[in-house]
A and B are shown apart, each in its own frame.
Chain A
Amino acid sequence: NAGVTQTPKFQVLKTGQSMTLQCAQDMNHEYMSWYRQDPGMGLRLIHYSVGAGITDQGEVPNGYNVSRSTTEDFPLRLLSAAPSQTSVYFCASSYLRGTEAFFGQGTRLTVV
């Protein structure tokens, strides 16, 4: 059972480049979310989804797009990377009626 898998683990981008951070879960969870974590801070919610075809914004959505075409996958897109998006990104999933959220191991993104 893989749980929540994030790829890549590390990425360096140039300012203005685009990329997609991948997140996949094999637990049939309805709820998925993306967080970013900056040094010395807690996790901040970027976007979340309560099921396929449904997404919504979190605390810090600007500069990021998401889609949820399947239950398993919830990719996070950076359309034009900026140095302010340098961070560690975590994906999480849970059942809608569940109590425990499962997190991936993170993607460390550097934008130069």
Chain B
Amino acid sequence: DAKTTQPTSMDCAEGRAANLPCNHSTISGNEYVYWYRQIHSQGPQYIIHGLKNNETNEMASLIITEDRKSSTLILPHATLRDTAVYYCIVRVASSGATNKLIFGTGTLLAVQP
């Protein structure tokens, strides 16, 4: 699985959009970009994933560059409850052993009141 690079930490004002970057310059053509988050002391929570098109769901939007070497997770209106560590993970489409998720150290997003 391709490695990812994320900033260690970021701040965001409550109510503003939070934009979390991720670099994955060695991503392969069959690898997806996944985002999970982990609120303090809880188990990780799935947010969104994508291959090459931008994706949006009720939690967030995922913007993937045309060359697929980087992506940005956007939380449109951050709240204090969005304070968490956000993990960007790259892996092939789900298929048996490749279901495994390899976590890096993620980005600690601190939403400020």
Task: Report yes or no: A43 in contact with B94, Cβ–Cβ below 8 A.
Answer: no
Q: Which residue of B lies closest to A4 (CB)?
A: B43
Give the residues in chain B near A58, CB-CB below 8 Å.
Answer: 100
User: Which one, A11-19, A63-71, A74-82, A96-104, is touching chain B?
Assistant: A96-104
Contact A99 to B94, CB < 8 A, known contacts A31-B99, A48-B100, A50-B99: yes
In order of increasing CB-CB distance, the 4 nearest A-B pairs are: A103-B43, A42-B103, A100-B46, A43-B103
Interface residues of A (CB under 8 A from B): 4, 31, 33, 35, 40-45, 48, 50, 56, 58-59, 88, 90, 92, 94-106
Question: Provided the pairs A43-B103, A96-B96 are in contact, do residues A105 and B43 lie with their beta carbons within 8 angstroms?
Answer: yes
| New A-B contacts (7) at CB < 8 Å, excluding given A42-B106, A96-B96 | A4-B43, A31-B99, A43-B101, A48-B99, A92-B43, A95-B94, A99-B49
Complexed CA–CA distance, A102 and B36 (Å): 10
A56: which B residues are within 8 A, CB to CB?
Answer: 97
- In angstroms, Cα B94 to Cα A33, docked, is 14
The CA-CA distance from A43 to B44 in the complex, in Å, is 9
Residue of B nearest to A48 (CB): B100
Question: Is the pair A98, B104 in contact by a Cβ cutoff of 8 Å?
Answer: no
User: Does B25 touch A at the CB level, under 8 Å?
Assistant: no
List of B residues within 8 angstroms of A95 by Cβ: 94
Assess the A104–B99 pair: CB atoms within 8 A: no
Cα A53 to Cα B41 in complex, Å, equals: 31
CA distance A88 to B36 in the complex (A): 18
**Docked complex Cα distance between A33 and B96 (Å):** 12
Cβ-defined contact, B105 with A41, below 8 A = yes
Tell me the minimal C-beta distance from A7 to chain B in angstroms: 14
Determine the chain A residues whose CB is within 8 A of the CB of B42 once the complex forms: 105-106
- In contact, A40 and B105 (Cβ under 8 angstroms): yes
